[in-house]
Amino acid sequence: MKHIRSNDTKPEMRIRKYLFSKGFRYRLHKEDIPGKPDLTFPSRKKVIFINGCFWHGHDCKRGARIPKSNTAYWLKKIGRNVERDKANYLKLKELGYEIATVWECEMKDFPALAEKLEAFLNA
């Protein structure tokens, strides 16, 4: 199974292209920010994470689909990811960043997702 949260995945590219076309400018995977957010908007102090539902334990059909074999291993691994996400979000908030999380499953309704992200960035 391929790790979804590698760089330049399809959902990420689509979101990047869209936001760029709307005039938003961002930095990618900034190393000096907790959690290396997929998109960072330095002047707005906002970050966007684009999360695979499986890897980040989303509360949706896809996120709940734990493999039948090595179940304990996967639960532990995903549990660690979720904990790490939480810790990173906390650190980001302490630094004054606002955070939006995009779940892979939200890509199914891209217009709604686009609206949510624009509202987040313009707020």
Q: Which residues bind Zn ion (CB under 5 A)?
A: 53, 58, 60, 63, 103, 105
Least distance from Zn ion to the Cβ atom of residue 58, Å: 4
Whichever of 54 and 89 has its CB closer to Zn ion, that residue is: 54
Farthest CA pair distance, the chain: 46
The C-alpha angle with vertex 22 and arms to 16 and 27, in degrees rounded to 5, equals: 40
Least distance from Zn ion to the Cβ atom of residue 15, Å: 15
Least distance from Zn ion to the Cβ atom of residue 5, Å: 13
Whichever of 68 and 108 has its CB closer to Zn ion, that residue is: 108
Whichever of 30 and 81 has its CB closer to Zn ion, that residue is: 81
Q: H or E stretch including 114? A: helix 110-122
Quote the tokens at residue 49.
Answer: 């994470």
> What's the alpha-carbon Rg for the chain, to the nearest Å?
15
